Amino acid sequence: MIGIINKLLFEFVGHQWGAETEGKLRAETGTQMVEFRMDTYYPDTEWQAQLAAALRVTGQAEEAFVWDFGHYCGVELLKGFSGFVRGVTTTREVITRQPRIHNTLSSTFAREDRDRINEKFRLAELSDRTIMHYQSPNRLCTLYRSIAQWVADEFGDTIVIEEPRCQKRGDAECEIHIIYKGKKGQPA
């Protein structure tokens, strides 16, 4: 896991539920003195424990929590990494850049860690959609779908998201279809 997501998780909890709840999360995960870095690989098991602890301290259900976290990530990633989306005008452009952005952020990691990260995403492009093949023990397809929806809302695009295969339903990978329907308020 690229550390920016870990960092944003703690910030999200603090933003939504206050500093005291973020402190409880840090105490429960033993991360009181940890500053998560985007140039550092963190084991998936560490992320999974942090997410589970966040659900416990906030009392939230996983799907709703991760969906809201995805929207928070969209806002924060756009603020912090606006250069990655400079010049783009559509949701599709952002979606198709995502694996490159992800892989660029991991380019300084040790080869084994970089390979682990880069293997998580694979894109297929069709005329009306992008198909993301995602495979990770973190099972964060909801986060990906949420960020995609946030991007579409930000760019004023209409999308339909389908997930015919999902690791949470026992499939080997998640297959997420982002179907582009045009600008909001215009016929597809």
Q: Residue 111's pLDDT is what?
A: 84
User: How far apart, in whole angstroms, are the C-alpha atoms of residue 114 and residue 104?
Assistant: 10
Query: Which of 26-40, 74-88, 101-115 has the largest mean confidence?
Result: 26-40
Q: Is the dihedral of CA 97, 52, 62, 162 positive or negative?
A: positive
* Cα dihedral 30/32/33/39 (nearest 10): 70
Percentage of residues in the chain having pLDDT higher than 70: 99
pLDDT band, very low/low/confident/very high, at 81 (cuts 50, 70, 90):
confident
CB 95 within 8 A of CB 177: no
Reported as a single tens digit per residue, the pLDDT across 138-182 is 999 999 999 999 999 999 999 999 999 999 999 999 999 999 999
For 84-115, write each residue's pLDDT tens digit.
Answer: 778 888 999 989 887 777 777 777 778 887 77
CATH number of the 64-183 domain: 3.90.1520.10
Q: Which residues contact 178 (CB under 8 A, 6 or more apart)?
A: 91, 92, 95, 129, 130, 131, 132, 148, 159, 160, 161
Residue ranges of the domains in the chain? 3-60, 64-183
pLDDT in tens, 16-27: 999 999 999 999
The predicted structure's pLDDT at residue 188: 56
Q: For the whole model, what pTM was predicted?
A: 0.90
